Amino acid sequence: MEEETQKIQIYSTCNTGVSSYWRDKYEREAKKYWDVFYKRHQDKFFKDRHYLDKEWGHYFTGAGKKDILEIGCGAGNTIFPLIATYPDIFVHACDFSPRAVNLVKTHKEFTETRVSAFVCDLTADDLSKQISPSSIDIVTMIFVLSAVSPENMPLVLQNIRKVLKPGGYVLFRDYAIGDLAQERLTGKDQKISENFYVRGDGTRAFYFSNDFLTSSFKENGFDVEELGLCCKQVENRSRELVMNRRWVQAVFRFSDGMNSSFCEETSGKANLIGQEVVDPHAAESDLKGPVNNFEVDISDGLAFDMFGISPSDDKEMIEVNLKGCSFKIKVLSKEYQHTCKSTGLMLWESARLMAAVLARNPTIVAGKRVLELGSGCAGICSMAAVGSADLVVATDGDRKALDLLSENVTSNLRPPDLGKLITKRLEWGNRDHIEAIKDENIGGFEVILGTDVTYVAEAILPLFATAKELISPSNKGTGEEDQQPALILCHVFRRVDEPSILSAASRYGFRLVDKWATGNPAYPSKSIISSWFGKDDSENHIPCSALNIMYFQVE
């Protein structure tokens, strides 16, 4: 291997944040993402918030009936603990996800005499059309304002003012700057703007500082009654993980010209029961140890945000039908694909096309030893080839993709095919990985496949260098051209153009024998690739008009 060959993953490690296209999409389709969220998780995401009585019980008691407004009610994790504890309250509950509101209405403890649930987007809909002006005693906002873009937060607070009584309270809890979830999202190209991020499922989260929070409420007519930055350490002993959660808890009062009883000097240091309260500007070394016996909103979904631990339903099953066989492939759910760094946890259109070609033309690999580079979790090209090939080795550099690939192979293949397909880790240019694969097949491979493995410029040289190490020596003079060892690449040209690919190929002794692009008469196939397709194939199994196939042999 030459010196410039590097170990490399086949995904980019840049950290430029979310593009303007996706920022606009997340804003425009925020309701849809939350609706899908509740379709998937139903009422299983957050625990019921029984801590509300301990933290804020004195606000819910007192003379007379109290009207409560729960903003962003979700599946009712705040509503139902409240009505069970306080018989003299009535709760108005709103969310801009219709599915969430429906979950509240179908809850076994829902009753119209205690709860009124309705759909409302507080950044666009007038709340006073659903609730009488100046009629609400208490508004609860529990992990909800963070889902709103910072520029729209004033609209939410102004909307609340319309229905809140003068002197009424807003009980607030939400994510704080420095929470471990924020740290993880910062390193995953998921930053939308300052302290504002998108999660893997398309929902968004803002992380509050005390200064930002207090100024936002004060500018919209609220005084600060209580304010604290709180810390809690959550431990998962079975996984040996510790999650340092940080959140802001506060109480605001709608002043309407009334005098504030809040003292500026106590900002950030209010005595909140059962919590560790710290100065928002304190150094990490000054923070106290974790607080015991305190409930935190935690779930599989939050663990996924913080540690990459996948919840049980982050995968989906797709079916791929090829000539004479059908594969059921488990991949990462589409909700997570667009923000997941690993490209190997999904099924690419190039893999569909190449698998269909192999299924219809088994002679391409018949009796040969086949290597797939960057097979990802699906491995359908390898599985399509194994019925005719003598040996198939499916490889990828991503461990999670390999784990899922092994699961898919085991669930779809039966002996003897199962025994002929081996999965191995291969980072292109990694000498140890290359030698381990050579141990599986000393003579090299007659066919090497790669689908959509050419889109990162830094990966092209290691790709061809690795292929050169593992391909069988040329046996010219002993057969037809299409029977010589070949490297077959199928892809959509993205960040790397054809001249760059050809230059790298030539550097490692590969020459382009044939090329093909569907629907492009100026890009005709010489003879090998075109023989794989029938006249009607463009309608039957070519999934994308931008796909290209390049057929290389060793000089």
**Token output for 517:** 């692009």
Distance CA 393, CA 432 (A): 16
Reduced to 3 states, what is the DSSP secondary structure of residue 134?
coil
How many other C-beta atoms are found inside a 10 Å radius of the C-beta of residue 422?
Answer: 17
Q: What is the β-pairing status of strands 222-236 and 276-278?
A: antiparallel
Run means of pLDDT, 10 residues per run, the chain, 555 residues: 40 60 90 87 77 88 88 92 93 94 93 95 94 96 95 96 95 91 78 91 92 95 92 64 80 72 38 37 35 46 44 72 88 61 78 94 96 95 96 94 94 94 96 94 94 90 97 72 88 88 96 85 73 65 78 93
Interhelix angle for 460-470 vs 431-440, to 10°? Answer: 30
* pLDDT value for 16: 61
Distance CA 332, CA 313 (A): 9
Q: What is the β-pairing status of strands 547-554 and 510-517?
A: antiparallel
Question: How far is residue 455 CA from its own chain's centroid?
Answer: 21
With 0-12 CB in 10 A as exposed, 13-18 as middle and 19+ as buried, what is 229?
buried
Distance CA 155, CA 146 (A): 14
Q: How far is CA 354 from CA 155, 303, 331, 385, in A?
A: 51, 37, 18, 10
Count of helix runs (H) and strand runs (E) in the chain: 18, 20
Summarize the chain as % helix, strand, coil (round to 5).
Answer: 35, 25, 40
**Token output for 321:** 């039908």
* Cα 357–Cα 400–Cα 462 angle in degrees, nearest 5: 65
* pLDDT value for 520: 66
Distance CA 405, CA 426 (A): 13
**Token output for 286:** 């000054």
Task: Give 422-450 as a DSSP string.
Answer: EEEE--BT-HHHHHHHHHH-TT-BSEEEE
Reduced to 3 states, what is the DSSP secondary structure of residue 420?
helix
DSSP state of 524: -
Place of tokens 């099953």: 317
Going 530 to 532 to 537 to 538, the CA torsion angle's sign is negative
Domains defined for the chain, CATH in brackets: 20-307 (3.40.50.150), 315-554 (3.40.50.150)
